[in-house]
Structure 1
Amino acid sequence: MGDQLGLTECVSIALGGMIGGGIYAVLGVVAQITRAATWAAFVLAGVVALCAGYSYNHLNALGDGYGGSVSFVQQFVGNTTLAGMVGWTLLFGYVGSMAMYAYAFAAFALGFSAVPDGVAGVPLRPVVSVAAVALFVALNLLGARTTGTAETVLVGAKVAVLLAFGAFGLVYATSLSETRMAYGFGQLTTVGPVVAAAISFVAFQGWQLLFYDQDAIADNVQTIRKAVYVAIPAAVTVYVLVAVVTVNLAPEALRTRPHVALADAASAMLSVVGLSGLGLAVVSASALFSTGSAINATLFSAAHFSKRLVQGDLLPDRFGDADADGVPERAVLVLGAVTAAFAVYGSLGAITSFASLSFIVVFGAMSYLAFRERGDDVHPVPPAVGAAGALGFAPLMLYNLYGREPETFWMVLALAAFVVAVELLYFEREYVQQELSDFEDGLEPGG
């Protein structure tokens, strides 16, 4: 019992999954859509995420205590095909998240003056992204794993940097500079914050990792319940504080260099004491560590998740060894390769939208399932809000993507259609084989 994770460690893991890389990778993309009302987008996304968390906790308590989205579908719907499709959608969401972190990692690395943007005409951003993914693939293959205690320390340091950034930024903006603070209240009646909330949703997915390895958590159902209700509001608070400061102190950076706007804001506010270079360096270094650790943690969790899918015959055996100790090597290599491809060929906005869409679909489905399975002890509003939020977010995100990047929009739709087709062919392979066999028999003479 003494080796199991308690509430502090679980809150740290959930916060680490959300704040670890999300704020650095998502902020600039969201701010380009809704500017001064960026904080409202994070609040709205956080509310829907909290409602989804309520739904997950409810389903976890009703089930066998070893949940997760795939297990919930298997337990309460009993449809293997649907459970497998949920699992595959989550895997694609994890790949998109890791690609987003790898993209942001490279952007902050190139933000240091000593690092050139390219060498011999070759841009370094894709190279650094692939190198970051390769590094953490290698670490996972070596069996490296952060303990709960270490994660508590690391998350504490990351949160401390962001809170200090936000607190000092507010003091600087309101007292030490001539900045006129804008909060975008006039935009709250427009669709902009809702679209931005949909895109930022990927920054609120880390808490669900707690549901995958509940053997390691003391009093798992109650501990996870409390951790979710602490971690999501805490993440919202940090995101709102950082968003308000960055939007007001680095508006030009959000237009021209959205991926590193946080570092530019830190540089601006520390210039008052002649330490603009230090502010840039501290935030950039924190971003490198945060996005790097987010790649590592997500890859570790996704590989274990894929192992469970293989064990349940929801992924082909070629994807990984279901009986392997630790993470399956082939799963790590495949996930790493697909992540690297996404990071090289995708734009940050497209990758972020793709990952958010994956989690919106799954979280919305789980919220609907919780609403359907509710009892007298469950309030119907949170699951309803979670499901309705997903129903509203998904089409708005796609509409926004169609307007901003129509080529990417069609590519995402084509990819989604391809994935669904492959999923159905895999999960309904026995039915398809039988139909083909019957068809061939009918073509034979006398058939």
Structure 2
Amino acid sequence: MADKIGLSESIAMAVGGMVGGGIFAVLGVVAVKAGPSAWMAFVASGFIAASAGYSFVTLNNQLRQPGTPITFIEVYTGRTALAGMMGWTFVIGYIGTMALYAYAFGSYLVALIGLQTVAGIPAQPFVSTVVVVLFVGINAAGAHASGRTEDTLVGLKIALLLAFCGGGLYYGFVHGQLKSGLTTLGIGPLVAAAVSFVAFEGWELLLFDQESIHNPRTTVKKSIFVSITAVTVLYALVAIVTTSLLSPRTILLNSETALAIAARPFFGAIGFTLISIAALFSTASALNATLFSTSRLMRQLATDKLLPKRLESRGSEPVWSLVILGVLTATLASLGSLNAISSFASLTFITIFGLISFLAYQERSRSIPSVILPAIGTIGAIATIIALIWNLATTEFGTFVIVTVLSLIVITAELVYFERTPIQQEFKK
């Protein structure tokens, strides 16, 4: 019992999972789509995430033993194949997230050192691929960052972001540059909310690690709500500072590193350097941690016969899972645009959270929260999915094609695998 983590550590894990790298990469994309009302997009996404969090917690607490989102599908629907498809979707979502982290890492390093090409190859894809290969090798060798190291990194980047918010708000107030965004309302914030959703994934990992948490039902519930609320406020403040101090054109031309550039007016050149270094450490740490967790999720799915058995590594490290994850992540980070990667990753997690919210609505009790919050999670997910797809189809058709093709590949692979007769027979044994 003494080895299990408590409430404060669980909150730190959830906050670290969300702030891990998404805000450094996705902020520029959100600001381009919503302008000064970008903070509203983060608030909307946070509210939908909190509603989904309530649904996750409710389903978890109704089980005899704490379970995972994959367990929820299997227990409440009785469909093992559907649970397996949920597991695959989680893995795909994490691949998209890792690609986003790798892309952001490459972008910030290139901007920080002024590197344009490496041996004639564009620097960002090259650096993104190298960092993925590096962490695949580290994880395959069994070397992982200690929990204390991860906690320290989380604390440092939160402190730096808070300093960014405090300095930026003061500077903007003194110089009369703060913008409310209330005059730029429209569909922009809703579209931006959909794209920003990837910055709110990470808290759900607590549900996959409940065996390590003291009093998991209560601790996970409190941790999810506290962490989502805190991160929503942090993201909103970061968005206000960035969109107030930078022109729309500057954000458009520097969407990958907008957060670092926004620090220049009040912290000077050192601000850009500090934020860029923080982004490098944050995205690298998040990439490593997500790769570690996802490879073990894949191994567990293979053990449960929801993935090919060859992925059930007999050694201490799931090498085959790591290699597959590395190849897919590096490919997406190298060939995809920032908007395409963030849209695909967000779309995946919106779908997951929406499905779990719908399941919680079906399992609702007579209490008001059990009806309203899952309904908000479900309707919010549907609305943001429609807004995202509509926006991509009408304004960024190339990105729309990429996201659509990736989604169809995932759905087809899942359907083909789980409809195979041998797989179905295994489930029935």
What TM-score comes out, normalization by structure 2 length?
Answer: 0.95
Give the aligned partner of residue 186 of structure 1.
183
CA positional deviation for 1:431: 7.5
Distance 1:172 1:218, change over 3 A: same
Match of 2:280, SS? helix
Matched, 1:126 2:125: yes
Asked whether the 8 Å contact 1:69–1:362 carries over to 2, the reply is no
Give the aligned partner of residue 279 of structure 1.
271
Number of aligned positions between the proteins: 423
Give the aligned partner of residue 308 of structure 2.
316
- 1:80-134 Cα offsets, whole Å, 9 max, x none, are 121111111111110000001111111110112x342114532111000011111
Match of 1:5, SS? coil
Matched, 1:368 2:355: no
Give the aligned partner of residue 399 of structure 1.
390
Distance 1:173 1:186 in 2: 18
Amino acid corresponding to residue 216 of structure 2 in structure 1: N
Asked whether the 8 Å contact 1:12–1:151 carries over to 2, the reply is no
Identity of aligned residues (%): 43
Asked whether the 8 Å contact 2:340–2:402 carries over to 1, the reply is no
Amino acid corresponding to residue 350 of structure 2 in structure 1: I
CA RMSD after TM alignment = 1.7
Distance 2:323 2:422 in 1: 31
Distance 1:433 1:212 in 2: 25
Give the aligned partner of residue 138 of structure 2.
139
Distance 1:192 1:300, change over 3 A: same
* Structure 2: unaligned runs, 5 residues or longer: none
CA positional deviation for 1:153: 2.5
Give the aligned partner of residue 444 of structure 1.
none
Matched, 1:300 2:297: no
Asked whether the 8 Å contact 2:36–2:180 carries over to 1, the reply is yes
Asked whether the 8 Å contact 2:26–2:342 carries over to 1, the reply is yes
Asked whether the 8 Å contact 1:9–1:149 carries over to 2, the reply is no
Distance 1:387 1:53, change over 3 A: same
CA positional deviation for 1:290: 0.5
- 1:14-44 Cα offsets, whole Å, 9 max, x none, are 1111111011011000111010000000000
Matched, 1:238 2:234: yes
Match of 1:181, SS? coil
Asked whether the 8 Å contact 1:99–1:339 carries over to 2, the reply is yes
Give the aligned partner of residue 442 of structure 1.
none
Between 418-427 and 70-79, report the one with greater CA deviation. 418-427
CA positional deviation for 1:319: 2.7
- 1:41-67 Cα offsets, whole Å, 9 max, x none, are 000000000000000001111124442
Give the aligned partner of residue 375 of structure 2.
384
Q: Within 5 A, what are the aligned runs for 1:6-155?
A: 6-112=6-112, 114-155=113-154
Asked whether the 8 Å contact 2:300–2:312 carries over to 1, the reply is no
Distance 1:426 1:294, change over 3 A: same
Q: Which structure: larger Rg?
A: 1
